[in-house]
Amino acid sequence: MDLSIKSFEDYQKVYQHSVEQPEQFWDTVASSFVWKKKWNKVLDWNFKEPDINWFVGGKLNITENCLDRHLADKGDQPALIWEPNDPEEHHRAFTYKQLHQKVCLFANVLKNNGAKKGDRICIYMPMVPELAVAVLACARIGAIHSVVFGGFSAQSIADRIQDANCSMVITADGSYRGTKEVPLKNVMDDALVQCPSVKRVIVLTRSRTPISMIKGRDVWWEDEIKKVETLGMLNCPAEEMDAEDPLFILYTSGSTGKPKGVVHTCGGYMVYAGYSFQNVFQYQPEEVYFCTADIGWITGHTYIVYGPLAMGATSLLFEGVPTWPDAGRFWDIVAEYKVNILYTAPTAIRSLMQFGLDFVKDKDLSSLRVLGSVGEPINEEAWNWYHEHIGKKNCPIVDTWWQTETGGILISPLANVTPVKPCFATLPLPGIQPILVDEKGEEIIGNGVSGNLCIKFPWPGMLRTTYGDHERCRVNYFATYENLYFTGDGCMRDEDGYYRITGRVDDVINVSGHRIGTAEVENAINMFSDVVESAVVGYPHDIKGQGIYAYVILSRETDDDELTRKDISMTVSRIIGAIAKPDKIQFVSGLPKTRSGKIMRRILRKIAEGEVNSLGDTSTLLDPAVVDEIKNGRLS
């Protein structure tokens, strides 16, 4: 069944229907997928607990939708194309038939090594096709994958493995990113010291750097594949999963405590990933689609692996970085593979803009039809550059707003369907009911208004829980405003009813499109031996969107401020990962606190932003003098 929306009138009709009769609407959408058994009920829900069940009683396996169902018509079409870090190295491509075989083989490797339905498996791998294979192989046997981005530290990996009580790890010896080689297995070994639950580690060969291999625990991917081949275990039947069985866990930062394991389930996630992919990008048969994200983030899960494959698309995955060997790398890839749809992040666009047009001007970008943006608000300059120099003013830009928790895109133009407006995520997808509320949770009606963005009705791709701690899920997302899912984002709705996301309203910073909790960074800084206390806020950063500004109180004078800053950064790198390193560290003797001891972050934010003359009311401060000291010592 063709579920593509073809025109704006069509969108308006479908949207209306999806709001008036959501169950009927999603019933039709879900029916276009392959199920082992049809559901008895489309939806059963309440946002109070929350308890959300889509396609109740339905049975399926997502990999049958991503692989098996395409074999007859699209078996010889490339499913994945892989561009390695080094352009001199051979690229690889896998047809749907080949990918199906590889997933079946590796699924049998997992089984052979003791993995079974419901087990949690941590994946820490480079951006190579085997990463997608590992993800799909877990789904094939019903194991729950927890992919950890390659830039996280051993401590972060250990926290995630322990939280999910993973029994197995899939990793690689090393990975390449531009000129850097990352020793993945070494980092994993450091993490595993703290993880007795892990009984088996499967290691893919990528960089063939020397690594330790522990007898009885560590095995090579290639050896294990040979074993199952020798045993003739070439096919692997897809495990029957309940629609509400967990498919994966993905950790994401919030405003408090350690990252939360967001849980997505098999049926609803699949339906939403496929439906949103098809409609936002308006994918046409045989097109090449290139999402530049890493599979370690939700964008890679939904829009490199599951969404495109569910819809039989050709998905390109890239191991390297946009600026190596030079700042024309994306454009070389677009030209070489005749990419039709490019989906990237504002931070990548801003970093490439800096290099000027020399790296763009001779590149053949004529294959491009649709451009996408994700992860953070896109500023007007970046939007215009993308539109003019990459899209040659011919390609719609779909500014897609969503979150790890939402599973897929919620607010976005549909390419060539929704009239776009620079920097606006525009309108909700069918089935999505956004509302804006004020601080008290009262709905803000009408247009030309701003407020906190909430969603008032469930959609199939939404999170169901946070792993091992359902109460945390309730408190974080469903308790701020009664009967609403709270996104944590501020938003305006203009005169035309178009939505523009203005950024987080909680203590989460968006650095280069990555979510970082201020509390997490503070905890890491506080682990440095000479730190008494710290406070972290975001500030506008030309390339990263937001940078990390840390105010730190030390227990003694430093001999060398710069060296101490580096020591603190190294500590943060060790505890969280290089992505969380502060951009600026200002040493202070005190922090602005209320009489009840609460840090006034509003003031610290203003100072970090350079708005030192508009600090607002400081009369409730315990010690107003501290503000002058901080203002005077501000790092520009």
Give kind and range of the element (H or E) at residue 246.
strand 246-252
Rg (CA), the chain: 24
DSSP string, 36-52: SB--SEEEEEETTTTEE
Binding site for ligand PRX (CB under 6 A): 252, 298-299, 374-377, 399-404, 425, 487-489, 501, 503-504, 510, 515
Q: How far is the CB of 173 from ligand PRX (least distance, A)?
A: 28
504/606 with CB nearer ligand PRX: 504
Given the complex with ligand PRX, which of 56 and 543 has the nearer CB atom?
543
Question: Strand, helix or coil at 249?
Answer: strand
Q: Give the nearest residue (CB) to ligand PRX.
A: 404
Residue 89 C-beta: closest distance to ligand PRX, Å = 29
Contact partners, residue 48, CB within 8 Å, separation at least 6:
478, 483
- The burial class, CB within 10 Å (0-12 / 13-18 / 19+), for 598 is exposed
DSSP state of 475: I
> What's at 414, amino acid-wise?
L
Q: Helix 518-526 to helix 561-575 angle, to the nearest 10 degrees?
A: 120
Residue 272 CB, nearest distance to ligand PRX (Å)? 13
Cβ closer to ligand PRX: 238 or 341? 341
**Shortest distance in whole angstroms from residue 237 CB to ligand PRX:** 33
CB of 593 to ligand PRX, least distance (A): 28
> Do residues 254 and 260 touch, judged by C-beta distance below 8 A?
yes
Cβ closest to ligand PRX, residue 63 vs residue 510: 510
Tell me the residue ranges of DSSP E strands in 21-154: 41-46, 51-56, 59-60, 78-83, 92-95, 120-124, 144-147
Give the ranges where 165-213 is alpha helix by DSSP (H). 184-192
Considering the complex, state which of residue 173 and residue 376 has its C-beta at the smaller distance from ligand PRX: 376
Compute CA distances 322 → 80, 90, 193, 207, 376, whole Å.
19, 18, 34, 20, 18
Q: Specify the residue, 78 or 296, whose C-beta has the smaller distance to ligand PRX.
A: 296
Q: How far is the CB of 498 from ligand PRX (least distance, A)?
A: 13
User: Closer CB to ligand PRX, residue 343 or residue 587?
Assistant: 343
- CA–CA gap between residue 217 and residue 197 (Å, rounded): 11
| Beta carbon of residue 254, minimum distance to ligand PRX (angstroms, whole number) | 10
Minimum distance from CB of 107 to ligand PRX (Å)? 28
Residues forming beta bridges with residue 46, ordered by sequence position: 51
| Closest to ligand PRX by CB, 292 or 403 | 403
CB of 296 to ligand PRX, least distance (A): 11
The distance of closest approach from Cβ of residue 297 to ligand PRX in the complex, given in angstroms and rounded to an integer, is 6
The residue ranges of DSSP E strands in 61-167, in sequence order, are 78-83, 92-95, 120-124, 144-147
| Shortest distance in whole angstroms from residue 263 CB to ligand PRX | 14
Question: Residue 553 in 3-state DSSP?
Answer: strand
298 vs 600 by CB, closer to ligand PRX: 298
Q: In whole angstroms, what is the distance from residue 372 CA to residue 425 CA?
A: 11
Q: Which residue spans within 432-528 are E strands per DSSP?
A: 434-437, 449-455, 465-466, 485-493, 499-504, 508-511, 514-517
For ligand PRX, give the closer residue by CB, 32 or 379: 379
Find the shortest distance in angstroms from Cβ 503 to ligand PRX.
6
Q: Is 212 exposed, middle or buried (0-12, 13-18, 19+ CB in 10 A)?
A: exposed
54 within 8 A of 460, measured Cβ to Cβ: yes
Per-residue tokens: 384: 């215009």
Nearer to ligand PRX, 78 or 513 (CB): 513
* Residue 244 or 399 with smaller CB distance to ligand PRX: 399
User: 91 or 258: whose CB is closer to ligand PRX?
Assistant: 258
d(CA 170, CA 203): 6
Residues 6+ apart with CB under 8 A from 270: 33, 60, 62, 65, 247, 306, 310
Q: How far is the CB of 403 from ligand PRX (least distance, A)?
A: 4
CA separation, residue 539 to residues 245, 253, 345, 500, 612 (Å): 40, 18, 19, 20, 13
